[in-house]
Amino acid sequence: MERLLLLSLLSACSGGIATGDGKTDTEDTEDTEDTEDDVPEVETECDDQIDEDGDGLLDCDDDDCDGVELCLWPTEIAFETLIQYEASFLASLAGYSDCAVHLTAPLVRDREDSCPGCDRVYRGEFNFLSDDCPDDFARPSDGGYGVRFDTPTSWEVFGRVEGEWTSLGIAEDDGSGTLQIANIVPVDASGVDGGTISTFFSFTPVD
Ligand SMILES: [Ca+2]
Ligand SMILES: [Ca+2]
């Protein structure tokens, strides 16, 4: 970390990290030619998919990136959600029944997408384990989630709601290594108690 900081300071002062002088061999009248000096001694960026120092270790795999915060963020997350509808007495009289949707997804980092206010976006295909809710029941339709890593045990999670990235809440780790969000909201059926919808999101860092 200190080496990275030092290199960054040197870079800022010199306007760039060890670069060539732009001259060809025949134009180069200096005593020493540019060779290995062009290669940084350490990994200078830990999230650009470039092996700057050429040691065969890329970004966070390189020891030079030890301690860099973004290297602590997962690249893969096991996602699971359970959505349960509990019909009120009046709703059941109107023909509505309790139902549940249970799905999982392996979420991997999506470098192409970005979410304002998020550190990373993850995406994956849903695997529906069970679903006995009616067709018009609102289910997650997009396996994309944005995360802002407030602390290792507290993430703010974002999902797309009507096309806009929207906070789904703060996922907290209860000590099990899985971060969870639980939302229980009443269903308002034109001023009548329609029951409740409980949503439980869970995110388990895998890699
Ligand atoms: Ca790099
Ligand atoms: Ca490297």
d(CA 29, CA 123): 54
d(CA 196, CA 199): 10
Query: pLDDT band at 35, cuts 50/70/90?
Result: low
- Of 71, 89, 117, the position where a domain reaches its end is 71
Distance 59 CA to ligand 1 centre (A): 4
Same structural domain, 63 and 80: no
Give the total number of structural domains in the chain: 2
Range of the domain at 57: 2-71
Q: Is the pLDDT of residue 10 over 80?
A: no
Look-up: residue for tokens 């001694």? 41
- Of 71, 101, 120, the position where a domain reaches its end is 71
Are 99 and 91 spatial neighbours (Cβ–Cβ below 8 Å)?
no
Q: Is the pLDDT of residue 27 over 50?
A: no
% of the chain with per-residue pLDDT over 70: 82
Same structural domain, 66 and 78: no
Same structural domain, 79 and 167: yes
Mean pLDDT of 37-66: 94
Distance 28 CA to ligand 2 centre (A): 29
Burial of 83 (0-12, 13-18, 19+ CB in 10 A): buried
Same structural domain, 61 and 117: no
Give the number of the ligand closest to the Cα of residue 45: 1
Query: pLDDT band at 37, cuts 50/70/90?
Result: low
